[in-house]
Structure 1
Amino acid sequence: MPQWLQWALIIGGVIAIALLAGFIVRQLRTLQASKRRQEKTEAFQKQRRASMVESIQVLAMAVEAEQMEYSEACLRIKGLLDHVKPELLEQPPFAVFQEVHDLIQHMPTHRARQETDTRFVEKMDKERRAIEETHAGRIREAAVALREQAL
C-alpha cells in the first residue's frame, strides 16, 4: 500500500473520530440541558402544588372561622382540589364541595355579575344563600376534615 494512501486513511480516520467526538459532546450537552429543564419543571410543579395545598388549608380555616361565604369557599376549594387531589371530591365529607359547586356554577360572578340585571342578581343571591344554609353544616364538617387531611 502506498504511503500517501496510508496517510489519507489515517487523516480520514482522525476526521471521523473528531466528528463523532463532537457529535457525542453535543448530545451530552443537549441531554444535560434537557435534564436541567425537567428538574426546573418538576421543582416548579412541586412548589405550585404546595402553594395550592396551602391555599386549600387557608380556605378551610376561613370556612371554620366563618370569614368567607360558603359558596365562594366551595367554588375555590373545588377548583383547587381538581388539581391537587380530585378523587377527594367523590368521597364524603368532601363531596359537598362538588355538590355546591354544581348547584351554583351557573350564577354570574365578577364582571358578569356587575353587568347582570339587579333583580336577577338578587334572585341568584337568594338562591345562593338558601343553598349555603342547606349545606352549611356539611361544608363546615368538610372544611374541618380537609384541614386535617394529608394532601
Structure 2
Amino acid sequence: MPQWIQWVLIVAGLAVIALLARFIWQRTRLLRQQSQRNARTEAFQKQRRDQMIESVRVLAMSVEQDQVEYSEACLRIKGLLDHLAPELLEQSPYRIFQEMHDALEHMPTHQARQDTASHFIRKLDEQRFELEKTHADAIRRAATAIRYHQF
C-alpha cells in the first residue's frame, strides 16, 4: 500500500477519533447538566413538600386551639392532602376533611362570595356553622391525628 494512502487513513482515523472525543465530551457535559437540574428539582420538590407538611401541622394546631373556623381549616387541609397523601382522605379519621369539602364545595368563595347577596350568604353561613357544630369532635380528632402523622 502506498505511503500516502497510509497517511490519509491515519489522518482520517485521527479525525474520527477527534469527532468521537468531542461527541463524548458533549454528552458527558449534557448528562452532568441534566443531573444538576434533576438535583435542583428534587430539592425544590422536597422543600415544597416540607412546607406543605408544616402548613398542615400549623392548620391542625390552629384547629386544636380554636384559632380558625373548622370549615376553613378542613378545606385548606384537604387541599394540601390532595398533594401530599390523597389516600389519607379515604381513611378514618381524616375522611372528615373530604366530607366537609364535599358539603361546602357549592358555597361561593372569594370574589363570588362578595358578589352574592348578603341574605343568601347569611343562610350559607348558618349551614356552614351547623356543619361545623355537627362535626366538631371528628374535626378535632382528625386535626390531632394529622398533626402527628408521619408523612
Specify the alignment match of 2:23 in structure 1.
Answer: 23
CA distance in 2, matches of 1:117, 1:41: 45
Question: Matches of residues 85-96 of structure 1 in structure 2 within 5 Å?
Answer: 85-96=85-96
CA distance in 1, matches of 2:150, 2:13: 62
Letter in 1 for 2:100: V
Q: Deviations over 1:1-44 (max 9, x none)?
A: 11111111000000000000000000000100111111111110
CA distance in 1, matches of 2:106, 2:44: 33
Displacement of 1:86: 1.0
Specify the alignment match of 2:6 in structure 1.
Answer: 6
Specify the alignment match of 1:71 in structure 2.
Answer: 71
Identity %: 58
Specify the alignment match of 1:141 in structure 2.
Answer: 141
CA distance in 1, matches of 2:8, 2:87: 69
1:150 aligns with 2:150: yes
Specify the alignment match of 2:119 in structure 1.
Answer: 119
Specify the alignment match of 2:60 in structure 1.
Answer: 60
1:46 aligns with 2:46: yes
Alignment gaps of 5+ in structure 2: none
Alignment gaps of 5+ in structure 1: none
The range that moved more, 2-11 or 56-65, is 2-11
- Give the secondary structure class of the aligned counterpart of 1:128: helix
**Structure 1 segments (4+ residues) deviating >6 Å:** none
Q: Deviations over 1:61-97 (max 9, x none)?
A: 0000000000000000000011111111111111000
- Give the secondary structure class of the aligned counterpart of 1:68: coil
Displacement of 1:56: 0.3
| Superposition TM-score, scaled by structure 2 size | 0.98
Letter in 2 for 1:84: L
Letter in 1 for 2:44: F
- Give the secondary structure class of the aligned counterpart of 1:81: helix
CA distance in 2, matches of 1:147, 1:26: 49
- Give the secondary structure class of the aligned counterpart of 2:135: helix
Letter in 2 for 1:125: D
Specify the alignment match of 1:130 in structure 2.
Answer: 130
Letter in 1 for 2:67: Q
Report the number of matched residues.
151
